[in-house]
């Protein structure tokens, strides 16, 4: 695994440009400039919140904050930025970041946050613009109590009102890591610079863990116009919640201890919203990836779900990172053989198959490590499978019907 200290670029106080102005470096920080969404990535911490410097930042960004950070802004009005929403968190004390906890090591916990917390140092290791896709990678290492490598990929399409974040976690130790928790939190202030109002209407829209089709939590405002922000995920290991402000206890966030996770619950307050993810077991040398969307308009949710299920960044990489499931042949027509690593003890296992917009197509009970999957009704397309074992998702990948 390439460490973040092995930079792909030597960057110091000047611009590096791609073939377009849409993906840029300024100093050690990165910027992704779409037509409707603009993002600044901290080179040190891997979160949205690049230090503001008008002399270094790319021209044409829509900076609006009383804090020296550029995080993300959006123009869901689609009016060429005559009006726009954001910066969503940088006013006041900017609560925006990510972190992890490992329960089996006595609760080792670290995180990076735009507010002040910086415990996992890293760097931008790549960025690229190839129309219409803008990509940026950040990598860093956590070495307190364990050795974990993080890679965070940001993916923005030119005309979308959402972007995908994919996290890759690698266990660089010689022992399994059990009960690994990740969180992503944000205090969605939305348009504080226009309203002086830090409160948002925070709502739990859906939870896969309680039978929902996806996992969603939003923060919205109505002044000076309707503004909207949402965390969206389609992997069954995600949960969403709200409550408090500096939400940085990953296991409590996942388990809902002192946080609200009830679907339909809503609260008008100056508080943070979050997503939390659990990896039951991460093998020595193993890598697991998971992803979510930042969504800036509720009408873009359907497109965001399709993008999460079909993202080239995450779906392709999932199948190359020690996936315990193999499918052969794939593509196939009538039937294929699905083989599961025999180190996995099957318990109440099932194979779920979804289409690219997240609709559940079929569920197959699994009682052996090798079984025949027969296609009786699915048309030619790409589908997403999820292997659920003992109520936990342990693998995902593609089924291609030709």
Q: Measuring CA to CA, which residue among 175, 136, 173 is closest to residue 37?
A: 136
The answer as to whether 281 is a domain residue is yes
Cβ atoms of residues 294 and 231 within 8 Å: yes
225 with 170, same domain: the answer is yes
Is residue 168 domain-shared with residue 274, that is, in the same domain?
yes
Q: What is the pLDDT of residue 395?
A: 76
In a domain, residue 356? The reply is yes
Query: What is the Cα Rg of the chain in Å?
Result: 21
Q: How many folded domains does the chain comprise?
A: 2
For position 362, which CATH number holds?
2.60.40.1930
393, 236 contact by CB (below 8 A): yes
Q: Which residue has the higher pLDDT, 2 or 396?
A: 396
Q: Kindly report the pTM of this predicted structure.
A: 0.76
- Tell me, yes or no, whether 307 and 383 share the same domain: no
Best CA proximity match to 202, nearest among 234, 241, 233, 245: 241
- Of 283, 318, 353, which one is at a domain's C-terminal end? 318
Average pLDDT, the chain: 86
- Shared domain check, 208 and 84: yes
In a domain, 7, yes or no: no
Token reading at 74: 């959006």
Write out the two tokens for 328: 């052969």
Of 366, 212, 387, 169, the residue nearest 399 (C-alpha):
387
pLDDT at 14 over 70: no
Do 244 and 388 lie in one domain? The reply is no
Are 396 and 387 contacting, i.e. CB atoms less than 8 angstroms apart? yes
- The dihedral through the CA atoms of 43, 47, 52, 57 has a sign that is positive
The whole-number pLDDT of residue 145 equals 59
**Is residue 274 over pLDDT 80?**
yes
The string of pLDDT tens digits covering residues 91-103 is: 878 899 999 999 8
Residue 108, domain member (yes or no): yes
Higher pLDDT, 23 or 378: 378
- Rounded CA separation 248/66 (Å): 24
Decide which of 318, 349, 377 is a domain's last residue: 318
- Say what the pLDDT of residue 399 is: 86
Asked whether the predicted pLDDT for residue 182 surpasses 50, the reply is: yes
Residue-range definition of the domain harbouring residue 340: 325-401
The verdict on 21 and 86 lying in the same domain is: yes
Q: How confident is the model at residue 3 (pLDDT cuts 50, 70, 90)?
A: very low
Least confident among 256-265, 281-290, 314-323:
314-323
Residue where a domain terminates, one of 261, 288, 318: 318
Residue 1 lies in a domain: no
**314 and 384 co-located in one domain:** no
pLDDT at site 321: 39
Whose structure tokens read 């992803």?
Answer: 291
pLDDT digits (tens, 9 = 90+) for 283-303: 888 899 999 999 999 999 999
Residues 313 and 344 reside in one and the same domain: no
Same domain for 330 and 314? no
In a domain, 140, yes or no: yes
pLDDT at 130: 86
Tokens of 378: 């699915």
| Domain membership flag for residue 238 | yes
Percent of the chain with pLDDT over 70: 89
List the CATH number of the domain containing 228: 2.70.98
pLDDT tops 80 at residue 47: yes
The C-alpha atoms of residue 31 and residue 56 are separated, in whole angstroms, by 11
pLDDT of residue 52: 87
The confidence band for 20, taking pLDDT boundaries of 50, 70 and 90, is very low
Looking from the CA of 66 toward its CB, the CA atoms found within 13 Å total 10
User: Is 139 within a domain?
Assistant: yes
49-57, Cβ contacts within 8 angstroms, sequence gap of 24 or more: 49/89, 49/90, 49/94, 49/96, 49/114, 50/26, 53/26, 53/27, 56/13, 56/14, 56/15, 56/26, 56/27, 57/26, 57/31
- pLDDT for res 323: 61
The answer on 350 and 269 residing in a single domain is no
**pLDDT tens figures, 323-350:** 678 888 888 888 998 988 877 888 899 9
In this model, does residue 77 exceed pLDDT 90? yes
156 and 301 co-located in one domain = yes
Do 186 and 167 belong together in one domain?
A: yes
Q: Rounded CA gap, 369 and 395, in Å?
A: 14
- pLDDT band at residue 16 under the 50/70/90 scheme: very low
């Amino acid at each position: 695994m390439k460490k973040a200290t092995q930079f792909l670029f030597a960057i110091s106080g000047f611009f590096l440009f791609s073939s377009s102005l849409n993906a840029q470096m300024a100093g050690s920080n990165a910027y992704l400039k779409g037509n409707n969404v603009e993002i600044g990535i901290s080179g040190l911490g891997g979160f949205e919140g690049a230090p503001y410097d008008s002399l270094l930042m790319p021209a044409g960004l829509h900076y609006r904050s009383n804090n020296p950070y550029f995080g993300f802004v959006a123009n869901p009005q689609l009016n060429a930025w005559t009006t726009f929403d954001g910066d969503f968190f940088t006013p006041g004390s900017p609560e925006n970041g990510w972190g992890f906890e490992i329960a089996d090591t006595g609760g080792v916990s670290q995180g990076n946050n735009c507010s002040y917390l910086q415990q996992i140092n890293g760097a931008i290791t790549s960025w690229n613009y190839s129309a219409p896709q803008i990509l940026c990678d950040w990598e860093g290492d956590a070495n307190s109590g364990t050795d974990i490598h993080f890679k965070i990929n940001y993916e923005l399409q030119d005309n979308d009102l959402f972007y995908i974040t994919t996290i890759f976690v690698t266990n660089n130790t010689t022992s399994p890591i059990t009960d690994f928790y990740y969180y992503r939190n944000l205090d969605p202030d939305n348009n504080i610079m226009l309203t002086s109002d830090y409160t948002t209407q925070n709502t739990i829209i859906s939870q896969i863990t309680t039978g929902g089709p996806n996992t969603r939590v939003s923060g919205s405002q109505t002044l000076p116009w309707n503004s909207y922000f949402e965390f969206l995920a389609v992997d069954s290991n995600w949960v969403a919640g709200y409550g408090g402000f500096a939400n940085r206890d990953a296991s409590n966030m996942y388990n809902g201890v002192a946080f609200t996770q009830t679907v339909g619950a809503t609260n008008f307050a100056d508080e943070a919203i979050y997503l939390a993810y659990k990896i039951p077991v991460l093998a020595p040398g193993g890598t697991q990836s998971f992803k979510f969307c930042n969504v800036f308009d509720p009408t873009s949710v359907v497109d965001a779900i399709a993008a999460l299920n079909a993202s080239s960044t995450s779906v392709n990489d999932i199948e190359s990172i020690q996936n315990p499931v193999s499918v052969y042949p794939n593509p196939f027509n009538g039937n294929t053989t699905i083989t599961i690593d025999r180190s996995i003890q099957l318990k109440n296992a099932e194979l779920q198959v979804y289409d690219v917009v997240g609709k559940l197509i079929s569920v197959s009970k699994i009682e052996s490590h090798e079984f025949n999957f027969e296609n009786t009704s699915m048309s030619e397309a790409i589908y997403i499978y999820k292997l659920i074992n003992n109520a936990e998702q342990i693998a995902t990948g593609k089924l291609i019907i030709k």
